[in-house]
Amino acid sequence: MQAGTIATAPYTDQKPGTSGLRKRVPVFRQAHYLENFVQSIFDTIAVPPNATLVLGGDGRYYNREAIQVILRMAAANGFMRVLVGKGGILSTPAASCIIRKYRTHGGIILSASHNPGGPDGDFGIKYNTANGGPAPEKITEAIFAQSKKIAQYRISETADVELDRTGDYEISGMTVSVIDPVEAYAELMESLFDFTAIRKLLAGGFKIKFDAMHAVTGPYAREIFVHRLGAPVDSVMNAVPLPDFGSGHPDPNLTYAHELVEILYGEDAPEFGAASDGDGDRNMILGKQFFVTPSDSLAILAANAHLVPGYQQGLAGIARSMPTSAAADRVAKTLGIPCYETPTGWKFFGNLMDAGKVTLCGEESFGTGSDHIREKDGLWAVLFWLNILAVRKQSVQGIVFEHWAKYGRNVYSRHDYEDIPADAANGVMKLLHDSFATLKGAQFGHLQVKMCDDFSYTDPVDGSVSTGQGVRIIFTDGSRIIFRLSGTGTGGATLRIYLESFEPDVSKHHLDAQVALATLIRIALQISELHKRTGRDKPTVIT
Domain with residue 60: its CATH number is: 3.40.120.10
Q: At what angle do helices 378-392 and 195-203 cross, to 10 degrees?
A: 70
Examine the domain organization and report whether 272 and 342 are in the same domain.
yes
Mean pLDDT of 504-522: 95
Residues of the chain with pLDDT > 70, as a percent, come to 99
Mean pLDDT over all residues of the chain? 95
How many H helices and E strands in the chain? 19, 27
**Is residue 1 over pLDDT 90?**
no
51-97 pLDDT, tens per residue?
999 999 999 999 999 999 999 999 999 999 999 999 999 999 999 99
Residues of the chain with pLDDT > 90, as a percent, come to 90
Examine the domain organization and report whether 432 and 390 are in the same domain.
no
Q: Residue 461: which pLDDT band, with cuts at 50, 70 and 90?
A: very high
Q: What is the CATH number of the domain that holds 490?
A: 3.30.310.50
255-284 pLDDT, tens per residue?
899 999 999 999 999 999 999 999 999 999
Mean pLDDT of 192-196: 98
CB atoms within 10 A of CB 228: 16
Task: Provide the domain limits for residue 444.
Answer: 409-542
∠ Cα 319 388 217 (to 5°): 75
Phi, psi (degrees; rounded to nearest 5) at 426: -65, -35
User: Which residue, of 370, 405, 440, is where some domain finishes?
Assistant: 405
Examine the domain organization and report whether 530 and 454 are in the same domain.
yes
Examine the domain organization and report whether 117 and 152 are in the same domain.
yes
Examine the domain organization and report whether 27 and 82 are in the same domain.
yes
Q: Residue 488: which pLDDT band, with cuts at 50, 70 and 90?
A: low
Predicted TM-score (pTM) of the model is 0.93
Task: Name the domain count of the chain.
Answer: 3
Examine the domain organization and report whether 445 and 354 are in the same domain.
no
Examine the domain organization and report whether 273 and 340 are in the same domain.
yes
Q: At what angle do helices 294-303 and 378-392 cross, to 10 degrees?
A: 50
∠ Cα 532 535 539 (to 5°): 105
Examine the domain organization and report whether 260 and 354 are in the same domain.
yes
**Is residue 491 over pLDDT 80?**
no
User: Which residue, of 405, 421, 448, is where some domain finishes?
Assistant: 405
| Side-chain-side CA neighbours of residue 520 (13 Å) | 28
Examine the domain organization and report whether 211 and 351 are in the same domain.
yes
Mean pLDDT of 6-33: 94
User: Which residue, of 405, 430, 458, is where some domain finishes?
Assistant: 405
**Is residue 130 over pLDDT 90?**
yes
Q: What is the pLDDT of residue 492?
A: 76
Using CB atoms within 10 Å of the CB of residue 474, give its burial: 0 to 12 exposed, 13 to 18 middle, 19+ buried.
Answer: middle
Using CB atoms within 10 Å of the CB of residue 394, give its burial: 0 to 12 exposed, 13 to 18 middle, 19+ buried.
Answer: middle
Q: Which residues are known to be catalytic?
A: 113
